[in-house]
Amino acid sequence: MIPWLAAGDPFPPVERSLAQPNGLLAASRQLDADALVRAYTQGIFPWSAENDPVLWWSPDPRMVLFTGEFVARRSLVRRIRSGLNAGRFEVRVDAGFAATMRECAAPRPGQDGTWITGEMLDAYCELHERGLAHSVEVLAGGRRIGGLYCVAIGRMVFGESMFSLEPDASKIALAALVQLLRLEEVPMLDCQQKTSHLASLGARAIARAQFCS
């Protein structure tokens, strides 16, 4: 059993997360910006299906990308350099946070719904207004072709979701974010859950205790 949280309730210790499904910690009926701040500062994030209660997670192990370990294939590096030099696309930060989230929320092929609900959009947009959430956009001819959004609290950055309307556009956004984090000497980007796509870009799993330390 996991606890059902009312508004303002503290989260239980992450060590109480379930082993199966990995990392499930608590549930709540609502989600707001204050709950997100409390969650992220403890290594907890929300993720649930549309029309379900809000589920809160802290998996073990945790997928992270150390910024010094980001893998960009030579073909991607060439595309970024040539595209920027020729003006075929540009990369911006916080040029349209809500629009980027909506693009991330659009169902992918084979998906019936989205985990990024209207309530989540409102809560993360409030975090953005507080300076705690940011977006990276890739634009071509003024049209948004790829991007991502993330949460940044203190020295930790939590990647949330990406989208791509053209090949490699989300990878270009991620490469730009990694470069910004390196400039700010931020060592690690949280990727939350393991995927083969993230692993191909250099992300790896670490113990939750190491992540939360």
Question: Can you state the angle between helices 118-129 and 33-40, rounded to 10 degrees?
Answer: 70
pLDDT of amino acid 111: 61
Q: Are residues 102 and 79 in the same domain?
A: yes
Q: Are residues 153 and 136 in the same domain?
A: yes
Which among 37, 59, 81 is the end of a domain? 59
pLDDT of amino acid 109: 65
CA distance 101 to 104: 5
Tokens at residue 69, please? 């370990």
Q: Are residues 55 and 76 in the same domain?
A: no
Task: Tell me the mean pLDDT in the region 9-35.
Answer: 97
Comparing CA positions, the residue from 108, 112, 116, 118 lying closest to residue 164 is 108
Q: Are residues 111 and 194 in the same domain?
A: yes
Q: Which of 77-81, 110-114, 160-164, 192-196 has the lowest mean pLDDT?
A: 110-114
Q: Are residues 116 and 16 in the same domain?
A: no
Q: Are residues 51 and 131 in the same domain?
A: no
Q: Are residues 25 and 106 in the same domain?
A: no
The boundaries of the domain holding residue 106 are 63-212
What CATH number is associated with residue 114? 3.40.630.70
Task: Tell me the mean pLDDT in the region 180-202.
Answer: 94
Task: Tell me the mean pLDDT in the region 26-30.
Answer: 95
Q: Are residues 48 and 122 in the same domain?
A: no
Q: Are residues 26 and 101 in the same domain?
A: no
Which among 59, 81, 98 is the end of a domain? 59
Q: Are residues 166 and 78 in the same domain?
A: yes
Classify residue 115 by its DSSP letter: S
CA distance 189 to 65: 5
Q: Are residues 140 and 153 in the same domain?
A: yes
Which among 59, 78, 94 is the end of a domain? 59
| Prediction pTM value | 0.92
CA distance 101 to 97: 6
